Amino acid sequence: MAGSSLLSKSDRRVMYGMVGVPTLLHVGLVWIPAIATILLSFTNWNGFRFDTMKFVGLQNYIQLFTVFEKDLYEALLNNLWVLVFLFLVATPMGILIAYLLDKNLRGTAFYQSLFYFPVVLSLAVVGFIWKSVIYSPRQGVLNVILGRTAEGDQISWLGDSSFLIPLGDYGLSKNFLALIAPMVWRHVGYIMVLYLAGLKSVDPSMKEAAAIDGASEWQLFRQVIFPSLKPVNVVIMVITVIEALRIFDIIDVLNNPVGTDVLSILVTESILGESSNVGRGSAYGVILLLSCLLFVVWYLRNEFRGLEEE
Amino acid sequence: MLTTKRNQYLAQGFLLVFSLLWVFPIVGMVLSAFRPYAETSNNPRGFFSWPETITLDNFRNALEQGEMVQHWIVTFAVVIPAMTLTLFLSSMVAFSVSRYSWRFNIALLMLFTAGNLLPPQSIIQPLFQIYNRIPIPEIPFISESGQLRGSLIGLILIHVAFQSGFCTFVLSNYMKTLPKELNEAAMVDGAGVWRQYWQIVMPLTRPALAALATLEFAWIYNDYFWAVVLVQQGDDLPITSSLRNLSGEFFTDDNLIAAGSLIVVLPTVLIYLVLRRQFISGLAVGAQK
């Protein structure tokens, strides 16, 4: 890399512009709002005139953990369920499919295109597809298979908010699980592509050496391949957490207001709804921000480690 | 390297069963979109029943009721400039951090990368207030609201600001792999930084730009959140977010929903079928150093 000191004065000026304009835009519309979220969370404000803004300290947070306790815990738990299913179901499935496709079986290109296909679609549209094709009470795949399409006998997959797994006052509601299924469906392909790229970079001689030593398929994966893919594993881990925290579209689009709220919905509620409470909305935003912070830092450390010395 | 025949069959069987789960929703969408709801909903076998009528009515109704042509025009008026601008701006940053050593190189790159990882909802409250307060000239179609909120310009800007994080990261990784002698030779020849960027580095970065362009097209086209919050109003919504309005209008007609979904996904699916390799490599490049 050439040192910047070699540049002439006019070249330097060009360079400042090339870096400055994009940075201003990015900082102005992403980082300044991120900081402003934290500041606004300590205020009480309806969002209209600045002189109505009042500093209230921790009041919003105290309210979240008392008055709105039920909303908050329900949303946090729902985000956690998404994470659990993406992590324990979608991720292993994606890794397994990638592992098999890496062996160049017949039809690999076809399978790869097929499993990746949902990733190309918006989760909002995916929600509509599942709603009409899989969950439709009168003609959806599930009720047709179960023979429950007759009037009065239908199962309402997206409408049943009773708990499948109760945990005290909270739990995993049936309709929320119905929303998680399409998320998993879409996430598998994502993981598959990321892992496949990682597998292609594993030194083939390592696999051969292990095979000659008589290692079983599982031992080979567990002891040779998986550890050597640590950077990809971190990326997958972080992407999965962020996906689980960002989830919004499919829940908003299939708006069944009972029992399916997540953090992102609570943050936006006061903008899209009738009443406008910027302070409380921001406090929810801060909780969202804090939840992902650790993972963002972890990701940065993984990606930028060793770069300082270059 | 599946050693035994048995393992090979097992793997094939597994993939076949799973691929059925992936085909199901997509085939179901196509099958039901071409049939009248009255026919499939009154049959215990739903849209698996043998079709008596095949019709384009659902597509016609979806296009009309959802005003989809109008929403499509809005969509492309957002996606094309947003995608182009994102690649242009992030390639400039990537060029300067990957080809020259500055004091704040890594900090800058980290800032962009981390910014892209934040959940959009965590910055929306202040952003919404900012958008409400920045006036812009009223231009028909592009900014009828007279402020960033509700204008296509506002939507384009947030896409560019947010997506440039990912693109800068990917492009700088790619540009780092280009031989550094290129710049040195160009400097000896007296080429300024702009010419080095535009005429030497950019042409060599084309594969990465192509991969990112397909990916960004799909991501911005698929955006739901920014548009729903920052535009809100009916006519100016891009097509994906206009689905929000349809959920009421389409009430119970599942075949109409299927047809509407099919229309919405058509552009991304076509591009995917043609540029599958770019799509996949774009993501893969992002995950690798």
3 state SS for A156-172: CCCCCCCEEEEECCEEE
Using CA coordinates, name the residue in chain B closest to A19.
B93
- Tell me how close the Cα of A164 comes to any Cα of chain B, in angstroms: 23
Residue predicted with more confidence, A259 or A158 = A158
Q: Residue B285: pLDDT band by 50, 70, 90 thresholds?
A: low
Which pLDDT score, from 0 to 100, does residue B288 have? 52
Residues 6+ apart with CB under 8 A from B88: none
Q: Enumerate helices (H) and strands (E) in chain A, giving the number of each.
A: 16, 5
Distance CA B107, CA A93 (A): 36
Contacts of A107 in chain B (CB under 8 A): 12, 15
Residue A267 is nearest to which of B2, B124, B157, comparing CB atoms? B124
Structure tokens at B37: 């709801």
Distance CA B261, CA B29 (A): 8
Interface size, chain A vs chain B, as Cβ–Cβ contacts under 8 Å = 339
Is A22 within 8 Å of B89 when comparing Cβ atoms? yes
Is B193 within 8 Å of A307 when comparing Cβ atoms? no
Residue predicted with more confidence, A217 or B134 = B134
Is B125 within 8 Å of A248 when comparing Cβ atoms? no
Share of chain B above pLDDT 70, in %: 94
Contacts of B258 in chain A (CB under 8 A): 129, 132-133
Query: Which 3 state secondary structure label does DSSP give A173?
Result: strand
Query: Which 3 state secondary structure label does DSSP give A63?
Result: helix
Distance CA A93, CA B21 (A): 13
Residue A128 is nearest to which of B40, B48, B261, comparing CB atoms? B261
Using CA coordinates, name the residue in chain B closest to A286.
B122
Is B284 within 8 Å of A116 when comparing Cβ atoms? no
Domain map (residue ranges) of chain A: 73-276
Which pLDDT score, from 0 to 100, does residue A256 have? 61
Which pLDDT score, from 0 to 100, does residue A2 have? 63
Which pLDDT score, from 0 to 100, does residue A310 have? 45
Average pLDDT over residues A75-92: 96
- B38-61 tens-digit pLDDT: 888 888 888 888 888 889 999 998
> To 10 degrees, the CA torsion angle through A59, A64, A65, A66?
80
DSSP A221: I
Query: What's the CATH class of domain A73-276?
Result: mainly alpha
Distance CA B250, CA A254 (A): 12
Q: Residue A217: pLDDT band by 50, 70, 90 thresholds?
A: confident
Q: Residue A306: pLDDT band by 50, 70, 90 thresholds?
A: low
- A15-54 tens-digit pLDDT: 999 999 999 999 999 999 999 999 999 999 988 888 889 9
Indicate the pairing of strand A163-167 with strand A54-55. unpaired
Q: Residue B155: pLDDT band by 50, 70, 90 thresholds?
A: very high
Which pLDDT score, from 0 to 100, does residue B289 have? 43
Distance CA B41, CA A88 (A): 36
- Tell me how close the Cα of A41 comes to any Cα of chain B, in angstroms: 10
Residues 6+ apart with CB under 8 A from B266: none
CB A111 within 8 A of CB A97: yes
- Domains and their CATH numbers in chain B: 1-65+254-269 (no CATH), 70-249 (1.10.3720.10)
Using CA coordinates, name the residue in chain B closest to A148.
B44
Average pLDDT over residues A224-234: 87
Is B117 within 8 Å of A299 when comparing Cβ atoms? yes
Q: Residue B233: pLDDT band by 50, 70, 90 thresholds?
A: confident
- A97-120 tens-digit pLDDT: 999 998 888 888 899 999 999 999
Which pLDDT score, from 0 to 100, does residue A65 have? 95
Which pLDDT score, from 0 to 100, does residue A213 have? 79
Contacts of B30 in chain A (CB under 8 A): none
Which pLDDT score, from 0 to 100, does residue A4 have? 63
Average pLDDT over residues A66-75: 93
Is B100 within 8 Å of A7 when comparing Cβ atoms? yes
Is B40 within 8 Å of A264 when comparing Cβ atoms? no
Is A1 within 8 Å of B101 when comparing Cβ atoms? yes
Distance CA B221, CA B265 (A): 9
pTM for the predicted model, two decimal places = 0.92
ipTM, 2 dp: 0.91
Interface probe, candidates A24, A106, A139, chain B, greatest B C-beta count within 10 A: A139
- B178: pLDDT strictly greater than 80: yes
Q: Residue A249: pLDDT band by 50, 70, 90 thresholds?
A: very high
Interface probe, candidates B111, B122, B255, chain A, greatest A C-beta count within 10 A: B122
- B281: pLDDT strictly greater than 70: yes
Q: What is the 3-state secondary structure (H, E, C) of chain B?
A: CCCCHHHHHHHHHHHHHHHHHHHHHHHHHHHHHCCCHHHHHCCCCHHHCCCCCCCCHHHHHHHHHCCHHHHHHHHHHHHHHHHHHHHHHHHHHHHHHHHEECCCHHHHHHHHHHHHHCCHHHHHHHHHHHHHHCECCCECCCECCCECCCCHHHHHHHHHHHHHHHHHHHHHHHHHCCCCHHHHHHHHCCCCHHHHHHHHHHHHCHHHHHHHHHHHHHHHHCCCHHHHHHCCCCCCCCHHHHHHHHHHHCCCCHHHHHHHHHHHHHHHHHHHHHCHHHHHHHHHHHHCC
Q: Residue B269: pLDDT band by 50, 70, 90 thresholds?
A: very high
Which pLDDT score, from 0 to 100, does residue A150 have? 86
**Mean pLDDT over each residue of chain A, to the nearest integer:** 89
Q: Could you tell me which of A189, A237, A298, A240 has the C-alpha nearest to residue A79? A: A240
Structure tokens at B278: 């770019």
